[in-house]
Each structure stands twice: as structure tokens, then as C-alpha cells.
Amino acid sequence: MASTAGVRPRPGLVWYNGSKAAVIIASKALAVELGPDRIRVNCINPVMGETALLSEFMGMEDTPENRRKFLATIPLGRLSTPQDIANAALYLASDDAEFITGIALEVDGGRCV
């Protein structure tokens, strides 16, 4: 599990951004290394979701006004949900994704576009 922060970093989260970028590149490197053994490695990059850490990731209090600012950066206009992330994981684990390896799947409502 990585984050959109590993692709499109936000100010004030340098170490979080960097750690998520490391997960992305490690996943790609493992995909190359383990591919000959038919082991697929992918990661998921969710956008911010409604969790107990939302205020910390926003870098400010979670108020309706501040939330609107963040939602304005997500073209589909909402935060991620656990179901969004679960759906992505289920897809990557399914037979439909048997030829997919080394990707960082952004589950972000278009934020990284």
C-alpha cells in the first residue's frame, strides 16, 4: 500500500511522501525480480480518505471549508472509501489481472491526472 503522495507530494509531508515513493519503486523492483517465478507485485495508491488521521494529512483542522479545498483537487469530488481500496485490491488479486505486475494503481478520483 502506497499513496498518491508518492506520485504527487504535498507540502509539509516530506518523509511521508518519500516513504510512499519508496514503496512504489520497491514494488516495481520486486515485480522485475520475482516475475520469472510468476509472482506479481503491485501497489495501490489511494487518495486521502476519511480516517482518524485526516486532519494530520490535511495539515489543518478538518472543517467543511478546509475539506472543500481538498475535494476541489479531486476531479471526482470525494475522498476515498475503504470499499474503493478493497475493490482495487480484489481486482489486482483476481485472474482478470493475471498479466499485470509492477504497477502503482492510483485509486484517487483523478487527483494525480
16 is catalytic: yes
Measure the CA dihedral 26/29/35/37, to 10°. -70
Q: Which residue type occupies 113?
A: V
Half-sphere exposure of 54 (CA within 13 A, CB side): 16
The residue from 7, 16, 28, 60 that is catalytic is: 16
Contact 41, 93 (CB under 8 A): no
Which residue numbers are catalytic? 16
